[in-house]
Amino acid sequence: MPLPVTDTRHAFRPLSAEIVGLLGSLSDDDWNRPTVAGSWRVRDVVAHLLDTALRRLSFHRDRSIPPADTGASGSLVDLINDLNRSWVQAARRLSPRALTDLYAHASVQLADFVESLSLDGDALFPVSWAGEAQSALWFDIGREFTEVWHHGAQIREAVGAGPFSDPRWLRAVLEIAVRALPDAYRDVPGHPGASVAIVITGRAPGAWTLTRGSGAWELDEGRPATSAATVTMTDETAWRLFFNAVPLQDAQSLVRVDGDAALALPLLKARSVIV
């Protein structure tokens, strides 16, 4: 079954409201807890959420795109990393209350904006981690939603708040994230018809199948009766895997692979973020 469009527009508002509600309850110690986002602590992840909301509003809503300075290498990764780093460093002079209030305001404006958009049309920026040079607008909106969700999940994990209240949000995140898989398999050989099944269990379950076509791997919803490899994991493992929050060696112990283990390995390396 071909992949359906995933409409995340009306999930931004309740998701960000739940994040703001949690931020308002945190202690000073909580704001300084480490997260799975590398060296970033909770306050840094919150600052990044504020940054990405303001960037989307400035670049997309207001069409105010500054000149790109990617440094010597000129890579997109370097540009993104520099934007992230410079903002987080500057935001360390802000108090938790100021960060919370600013994110509360920006997240409402972001929800207002995405709710005003049509799903049709072309994205302002392509979803590069899916290997696309041009993306549909709904996919770009969905990519933004996965950013909000997974950084919110990093905060919740760091402070012991448990999962978000609505598993449908995670299901939407996974529907977007698995679209990285065809590009992750672009250099993987296979005879036409060979397939890899992906089975995700938990509160946000789903199943997808990668099938080798005549020239590329194609992704569909559902799973076949038989496949060369089947990869099974929980939804909690899946989001950490796709969003670079679990090392490969740990992922291998959290994921069950039946069949051709070599054919499953590119899936464990797939990422739905720019890294």
Tens of pLDDT, residues 222-266: 999 899 999 999 999 999 999 999 988 898 899 999 999 999 999
Domain boundaries for CATH 1.20.120.450 within the chain: 9-165
Which pLDDT belongs to residue 83? Answer: 87
Question: Is a pLDDT exceeding 80 seen at residue 73?
Answer: no
State the pLDDT confidence band at 72, using cuts at 50, 70 and 90. very low
Domain boundaries for CATH 3.30.1050.10 within the chain: 180-269
Tens of pLDDT, residues 36-63: 999 999 999 999 999 999 999 999 999 9
Q: Which helix (DSSP H) or strand (DSSP E) does residue 151 occupy?
A: helix 137-159
Instruction: Evaluate whether the domain defined by 9-165 bears CATH number 3.40.1190.20.
Output: no
Tokens of 271: 């990422």
Higher pLDDT, 225 or 155: 155
Which pLDDT belongs to residue 61? Answer: 96
State the pLDDT confidence band at 274, using cuts at 50, 70 and 90. confident
Superfamily covering domain 180-269 = SCP2 sterol-binding domain (3.30.1050.10)
